[in-house]
Amino acid sequence: MDIYALGGLGADKRTFTYIDLKKHNLICLDWLDPGPEDTLVSYAARIADQIDHSKKFGLIGVSFGGMIMSEVSKIIEPNHLILISSIATHNELRWVFRKAGAINLDRIIPFKSMVGSGKLVHYLFGVKLERDKKLLKEIMEDMSPEFISWAVKVILRWKNPIGQKCIRIHGTKDRVLPVNKNLLDYPIEGTGHFAIVNDAEYISEVLDTLC
């Protein structure tokens, strides 16, 4: 089965560097440049255009990519929708993020300053291994500040009160998008937001079992 995957907040295919599927064909999608009027929903429709839904397929979304794939699944129905380190509804966002909907957050906390704040980023993402720190730094440095600014705005304004049917894989120590453990199908004990890299072997096994 073809499984289409989208990383988090502008992160490219390197997000899935250590994912190794034995039974399925993993297709990593590229982020598109958002249009000036793009909402999260309209952007998801453009992502959906890249997917061959004439045969069985699955969707994987990591972090912001999970929000996008949730909206994609409303347009073209996958055999499986899998959210990794992501949220299923806007109500799961931290209250401070929801409160920040009226604030231009990217101007208050400039993206480039986050990239330079290594210790803060490592803490938020739960990254400990030097290998993973290096990969995270490379990914973040290559992200477009314009894309990040757009993404923050649409996330804060995303309205999805009822989650799509999905399978959820999530670290129990996720500090970026913490989720009630009872909502998770596959909680990963002690893992943070970079689970797709930190626990790639386990996640690969789960994906091969599910799809």
pLDDT at 28: 95
The confidence score (pLDDT) of residue 96 equals 59
pLDDT of residue 159: 87
- Residue 98's pLDDT is 56
CA 181 to chain centre: 18
pLDDT, position 123: 77
* Low-confidence stretches of the chain (pLDDT beneath 50): 101-102, 106, 111-112, 115-116
The answer to whether the CB of 170 falls within 8 A of the CB of 186 is yes
Sequence spans of domains, the chain: 2-210
Q: Please state which CATH class domain 2-210 belongs to.
A: alpha beta
DSSP string for residues in 174-205:
-SSS---GGG-SEEETT--TTHHHHTHHHHHH
CA distances from 87 to 2, 32, 101, 133, 158 (A): 23, 21, 17, 24, 11
Instruction: Return all residues near 211 (Cβ < 8 A) that are at least 6 apart.
Output: 1, 3, 23, 24, 58, 79, 80, 82
Give pLDDT, residue 106: 47
